Structure 1
Amino acid sequence: MQPLIKQLGYAGLLPFIGLNALTFTDILPQSLVYLYFTQYSAVLLSFFGGVHWYDAISSNKPAHQMYVAMLPTIVGWICLTQTGAPWVLGVLSISYLLMMFYDKQVLTLPKEMVVAYTKLRMQLTTVVVLSHALMIFSR
């Protein structure tokens, strides 16, 4: 796996970690920190749908993968419309886990990338889910 892929993956964690760190300061109102966290999470979740959309059209996959590819965007959008609801971060967190498991089962990857991608995805998703839990409990 190219170093750039790992670097960009880890860089994508910075808003999750940084916004959680901001909950322990008075730099921004807590309501804004929570809003920004939710917005970033919803947008990033949508990205994973795009991965499956591309995989489905480039690998001539069954239509169900295209339908599943739309779910992260729809879930993210619903969460954005309900930002203040107590269940939003839980739904986003569970969605990341479900997409990771779906990736493992469905994505068409070259054999040499499967282990590296799965390992990276597990690391990134673990930090994302823990960040969601921390944000939930810091409210």
Structure 2
Amino acid sequence: MPYSAVLLGIAGLIPFVAMPLAYQFNLLPLTQSAVYFVQYSAVLLSFFGGIHWWDAISNQRYDKQMFIAMLPTIIGWLCLVFSNDVKVFGVLSLSYVAVLMYDKFTLSLPKEQVVSYISLRMGLTSVVVVCHAWMIYLIA
């Protein structure tokens, strides 16, 4: 896995960690921290759908993968619409895990690239899920 991909992946975790910390250190009110968190999470989830859109087009697989590629964007948008409900954090968290599992079994990459990509994603997704749980804990 290229060093830049690892670095950018880790940098992508900053908002997930920063928003609960911002509330805990009284830098943001909880409602504002939660809204920013959901907004970032929904946007990033949408990005993972784009990976499958590209994979389907570049490998001329216009089957269900292209349609499933749209699900993260639709789920992210619905989470923005219903962002005042604490269940949104659970939906987003489970969506990250579902997309990771779909990635593992669907992406058309050479085996060594799939292994390194999934390994990176597993670590990053674990932190993302913990941060969603952290926000649920703060709100509840």
TM range (shorter): over 0.9
Between the aligned partners of 2:28 and 2:118, the Cα distance in structure 1 is: 36
Alpha-carbon distance, 1:111 to partner: 2.4
Between the aligned partners of 1:130 and 1:15, the Cα distance in structure 2 is: 13
Deviations 1:12-38 (A, max 9, x none): 001001112112121111100000000
Report the counterpart of residue 29 of structure 2 in structure 1: 29
Runs of 4+ in 1 over 3 A off after TM superposition: none
Alpha-carbon distance, 1:97 to partner: 0.3
Between the aligned partners of 1:79 and 1:72, the Cα distance in structure 2 is: 10
Between the aligned partners of 1:30 and 1:20, the Cα distance in structure 2 is: 8
- Count of residues paired in the alignment: 139
- Of all paired residues, the percent bearing the same amino acid is 52
With the length of structure 2 as denominator, give the TM-score of the two structures: 0.96
SS of the residue corresponding to residue 108 of structure 1 reads: coil
Between the aligned partners of 1:20 and 1:113, the Cα distance in structure 2 is: 33
Alpha-carbon distance, 1:49 to partner: 0.4
Alpha-carbon distance, 1:110 to partner: 2.0
Between the aligned partners of 2:112 and 2:87, the Cα distance in structure 1 is: 38
Q: Does 1:70 align with 2:52?
A: no
Deviations 1:91-116 (A, max 9, x none): 00000000000000000112221211
With the length of structure 1 as denominator, give the TM-score of the two structures: 0.97
* More deviation, 61-70/76-85: 61-70
- 5+ long unaligned stretches in structure 1: none
Report the counterpart of residue 39 of structure 2 in structure 1: 39
Report the counterpart of residue 16 of structure 1 in structure 2: 16
